[in-house]
Chain A
Amino acid sequence: MAPEIRNPIESRLGTTGGAALIGRSVVIKGELEGSEDLTIEGQVEGKIELRDHTLTVGENGRIKAQVFAKSVVILGELVGNINASETIDIRDKGSVDGDLVAPRVAIAEGAHFRGSIDMQRKGQAPTKAGVPSMAPATALPAIAPAPPPAPRRDGA
């Protein structure tokens, strides 16, 4: 699907520090694919694929899309799932509602996030049959040194 660019007169497409830039007034609906780093300050709905590159959602960026990239940095808003082969970095004013898959995820204090974060390493060998192991309650070793008898605070 070809991207639909609204209000082309106000569109600002360019580069910033070596990365392509989608300016604040640009609205894109559809699939966005690239082979260079991209910064989005406008609005994108659909799907974004930058498999070997970095996507930066700028402070003014508003994204509703599935994202596939090497690394993703979010300073604006993103609704959708992100799959990154290296890192996802949500900065302090960034907001993400969706599921994240990446080996490394950084979420700054003050950032908004709701969803799941999958940091499972590929090829990791299972250790056991998928059941958390824990000895029965009666067989658990004491973690702290046994305290002296103390009065209980409630009716426990």
Chain B
Amino acid sequence: MSDGENDRSLAGWWTRVRETLQGRVQTHIPGVPLLEEDAVHPSRTLRPFLDAMRDAHAPVIVDFGPVVGSNVNFLGEQLSCKIHVEDLYADIDRLTRAGQEDTLAAFLSSRLPYEPGSVDGVLAWDLFDYLQGAEAEALARRLVTSLKPGGLVMALFSTVLTEELSFRKYVIVDSDHLRHRREPSVRRAKRVWLARDVERLLAPFEVAESHLLTHHQRETLLRQPLAGRKER
């Protein structure tokens, strides 16, 4: 497990410079100012997530985020997979807008209606940042039930709590980079999840990788244990 300020290393800096010079990283769209609302950041867990999915035959992937056409194309071409687009952000926003936040935990308990142990991978993005207490636990229970032994969850956790009313939409640029797009919402991030809280929340998942990145996010890859899932 690697855990640290990877991108502040000299090697990380040189890699970014080299990739930018080679045109592999699009850091700026011509004619459009580079705003924080739409920035490309490195990802350390997407590639291992994809590699693992590639090894599974016709993997089933659940995407917690809104549909992104280019992500669908990318995943389809790379993995020849089945993708379930759940857009839980929209559900959270809808319930918040309707003043029904107190029903969110119950709602999430009944979401993800998949056969137990049928999902190979979950792109959870930063959804847990927008959930608190019982809500996060309800979703975690569904994840633990749905994921195959050896299945993976890619989750991002902010290391700073902001007051912004926005979600982020994650667009896959390539296997090592994500474009973060800010989308307006009526619910703000609820908490900062520390690494130990993530492990506790998503037990019995094992932390396969965890990276603290300079854009104030921790990327975590969690894995369902292979031998006999423990009941929560």
Q: A residues near B, CB below 8 A?
A: 90, 104-109, 111-121, 124, 126-134, 137-138, 140, 142-150, 152-156
Contacts and interface: CB of A to CB of B under 8 A. Distances in A.
Interface in B167-197: 192, 194-196
Interface of B: 1-12, 15, 44, 47-48, 51-59, 67-69, 72-73, 76, 80-87, 120-121, 148-152, 159, 192, 194-196, 206-212, 218, 223, 226
A147 B54 CA distance: 28
Contacts of A150: 4-5, 8
B223 A134 contact: yes
Given A119-B81, A127-B55, A140-B48, 8 more contacts: A117-B85, A130-B57, A131-B56, A133-B52, A134-B208, A145-B12, A153-B159, A156-B3
B85 A114 contact: yes
B4 A117 contact: no
30 contacts: A105-B72, A105-B76, A107-B67, A107-B69, A116-B85, A117-B82, A117-B83, A119-B80, A124-B80, A126-B57, A127-B54, A129-B57, A132-B150, A132-B151, A134-B55, A137-B207, A137-B209, A140-B1, A140-B48, A143-B44, A144-B7, A146-B9, A147-B2, A147-B6, A147-B9, A149-B4, A155-B196, A156-B195, A156-B196, A156-B218
Given A130-B56, A134-B48, A111 B2 contact: no
A131 B149 contact: yes
B197 to A, nearest CB: 9
Nearest to B77: A119
Contacts, number: 156
Nearest to B51: A134
B229 to A, nearest CB: 13
Contacts of A146: 2, 9
Contacts of B76: 104-105, 117, 119
Contacts of B192: 154
B122 to A, nearest CB: 11
B2 A142 contact: yes
A interface: dominant SS: loop
Nearest to B10: A148
B172 to A, nearest CB: 13
A103 to B, nearest CB: 8
Contacts of A120: 58, 80-82
Contact of B11 (A144, A154, A155): A144
A131 B9 contact: no
